[in-house]
Amino acid sequence: MANHKSALKRIRQNNKRRLHNRYYARTMRNALKSFRSLTDKKEAEEKLSQVVSFIDRLAKKNVIHKNKASNLKSKLMKQANSLS
């Protein structure tokens, strides 16, 4: 166990941030899953901008890495374009 006040505070901060990041990472995965299940091209195009915006915000806040964000967006674009 930590012996210093600052170390105890650091533990509290890390736990708080971990929970916050887990929530947003889970929310992103749910959004991706719901997007991937779409079959209508028009609906997918509408939802694509929302999902891409959400991914960009998470990358900006360092919840996910910027390269992971760009890989996810690329795969989403490919899928949206492949729908008929």
pLDDT per residue as tens digits for the range 21-72:
999 999 999 999 999 999 999 999 999 999 999 999 999 999 999 999 999 9
Give pLDDT tens digits for 4-28: 999 999 999 999 999 999 999 999 9
Inter-residue contact 51 to 76 (CB < 8 Å): yes
Per the CB < 8 A criterion, the answer to whether 30 and 69 are in contact is no
- How far is Cα 59 from Cα 79, in angstroms, rounded to an integer? 21
The length of the chain is 84
The CATH number assigned to the domain holding 13 equals 1.20.58.110
Orientation angle between helical segments 66-82 and 5-36, nearest 10 degrees? 10
- Domain extent for 53: 5-82
Domain total in the chain: 1
Does this model's pTM top 0.95? no
